[in-house]
Amino acid sequence: MKIGAYVIMKDKLRDTYLEKFEFVELYGQQNLISSKVMNEKMMDLIDMLLEAQENGTPAEQIVGSDTLGFCKNYFADFTAADMLLSLAKGLVCPAWVLLIFESLILFFARSEDGFGFFSFKDDISPFLIGFFSPALMSMIANIICFIMAKRGNYSKKTYSAVHIIFSVLSIVLIVVLLVCVLALDIEVEIPCAAILLPAAAYLLIYYGIVIINRFVRYGTLKAPDSGYETSFKALVKDEMNKYDVTNDPDIVKTYAKRYCRVNKKRVRRGLEKLTTEEFFKKQNRDNKYASWIGVIGGYGVFFCIIGVLGEGIEFESSLDGVIFFAILAVFALLIVKLFRKTGSIAMGQQVKILAACSEKNLELDKYYEALLAEKADTK
Amino acid sequence: MDDTQLMKGILEGCILAVIAGGETYGYEILQVLSSAGFSDIQEGTLYPILTRLEKKSCIVCRKEKSPLGPIRKYFTVTEEGLRQLEAFRESYRLITRNAKKILFDTEENL
């Protein structure tokens, strides 16, 4: 289950129910509760609070007046061992990246003179800078939040501020380190095997512990709640379909702003303004090929940089070349798939908004203004 | 006197009894407990108990979408749960009978 998957349900809660929910959520996040436990616990809590909200039962009857005490009880079955496993999970992705990239480097270098699996060295400074700087900053931010949580500070604003500051710092750190490495011509050369083998060992140990832990707890080697995840995916899809985007000022605002910008440009060029329908048609046309153009452009820049640096790409055999371009093609397809998925969600939203505009006989910008006025009246 | 431990033990039996009455879910269990006078029971207490009962194989849980949207856990008692409930009832009867003799009958004799 993905991190924060319960979030789509959160919007249904109001006032005290939402306040209580967000407090518990913050407690879980600041105490490094694993995403799996968080998703399940938060879903249970939303179910209880939603029903209480519908029946007019006070939120205090569910959570009690001492929310912090409730949180301690609620997450009591999340042990220190679970927390360690949760932290260890954070290193799984970097370990996979190192394993895959170092394996590829070794594969492509195998035909070089004097090549040896244990002696071949690679400059890992780009990895250290690009991967571990954000990881380091994020870890420091998490430790600060964890200490704050232990001292009873559960302010969402402070928590967000800490993460924003450290995100900015990680970007600054990347830039500074890159400049230093390039200016001083520093290379951190380490034998590839010294990276690859520990990464592989880490993954083996991690998955081994996960499987043993699962077996001890649930008596099964498979994830115990796969049924829950399947129904959860169906639920997310269902909720996304049901969600009334036409009534959400933030989503409508995004399209209305774009609509005004496009029309402003057209007026400047002496063209006629687009209607909402024409605007959405144009958006779909633009989006259709945008992902491919983006990918081709990205690869174009990549090969240009290699050409400018004078390195070029030389392959020892045509098989190496085929494998190299196959890997690039897989990445390209993944990126396009991601864009297409986002595009299809956006298209669904556009159809709904267009229908709402037609129903009220308003263009998109006027529809947004009317929606804002309606919301203000309700308040 | 801190009655938390006493409550936890009794609650476990009571929650098992509620579930033994038929398939039910968190909010419904809370409402039954609340109407029986356990007004201080909150989800923080309820869910750790349900997790414990599940680990002891006394109950099983099924997940299904609730009418309001979220996925809801529906609990049902198992054979083992029914055995445990009977054992709890027996122990409870015995303990309360003995405790009553000391706590109240001696008070009446004073």
Residue pLDDT, tens place only, B9-24: 788 899 999 999 999 9
Among B33, B71, B72, B74, which would you mutate to test the A interface (most chain A Cβ atoms within 10 Å of its Cβ)? B71
A6 belongs to a structural domain: yes
**Domain-terminating residue out of A77, A105, A138:** A77
**Residue B35 Cα, gap to closest chain A Cα (Å):** 12
CB pairs under 8 A between A and B: 83
Show pLDDT as tens, one digit a residue, over chain A (379 residues).
Answer: 344 557 767 778 888 888 888 888 888 877 778 777 888 888 888 988 988 898 888 888 888 778 888 888 888 777 777 777 777 887 888 889 888 888 888 887 777 777 777 788 878 787 778 877 888 888 888 788 778 777 776 677 787 888 889 889 988 888 888 888 888 888 888 888 888 899 999 999 999 988 887 777 667 776 655 445 555 556 666 666 666 778 778 788 888 888 999 999 999 988 888 888 888 888 888 777 777 787 788 778 877 777 766 666 666 677 777 887 888 888 888 887 877 777 777 777 788 888 888 888 888 888 888 888 887 776 5
Residue of chain B whose Cα is closest to the Cα of A5 = B70
Domain of A10 in residue numbering reads as 1-77
Q: How many residues does chain B have?
A: 110
The order of strands in the sheet holding B24-25 is B24-25, B71-77, B59-65
Query: Which of A13, A61, A77 should we substitute to test contact with B (largest number of B Cβ atoms within 10 Å)?
Result: A61
DSSP conformation letters of A249-289: HHHHHHHHHHHHHHHHHHHHTTPPPPPHHHHHHHHHHHHHH
Return d(Cα B23, Cα B75) in angstroms, integer: 6
Question: Is position A308 within any domain?
Answer: yes
- Dihedral class, residue A310 (left if φ above 0, else alpha if ψ from -120 to 50, else beta): left
Q: Could you give the domains of chain B?
A: 4-109 (1.10.10.10)
Task: Return the DSSP state at A248.
Answer: -
Is residue A263 situated within a structural domain? yes
Q: End of a domain among A77, A103, A134?
A: A77
Give residue-wise pLDDT tens across range B53-106: 888 889 998 888 788 777 888 999 999 999 999 999 999 899 888 888 888 776
This model of the complex carries an ipTM of: 0.81
Residue A231 lies in a domain: no
A82 contact residues in B (CB cutoff 8 A): none
- Which residues from A are below 8 Å from B39, CB to CB? 61
Q: Name the residue of chain B whose CA is nearest to A218's CA.
A: B55
End position of a domain, from candidates A32, A54, A77: A77
Of A9, A64, A76, the CB nearest to B48: A76
Residue A280: inside a domain: yes
A279 located within any domain: yes
Which residue(s) pair with A121 in the sheet? A191
pLDDT, residue A1, reads 39
- 3-class SS of residue A64: coil
A191 in helix, strand or coil? strand
Residue of chain B whose alpha carbon sits nearest to that of A6: B70
Could you give the number of structural domains in chain A?
A: 2
In a domain, A64, yes or no: yes
CB contact under 8 A, A50 and B26: no
CA-CA distances (angstroms) from residue B1 to A106, A168, B4? 69, 52, 9
> In angstroms, rounded to a whole number, what is the distance separating the alpha carbons of residues B103 and A172?
70
Q: Which residues of B touch A43 (CB under 8 A)?
A: 70-71
pLDDT of residue A2: 45
Q: What secondary structure, in 3-state letters, does A14-48 show?
A: CHHHHHHHHHHHHHHHHCCCCHHHHHHHHHHHHHH
In a domain, A360, yes or no: yes
Contacting residues for A8 by C-beta, under 8 A, at least 6 apart: A236, A239, A240, A243
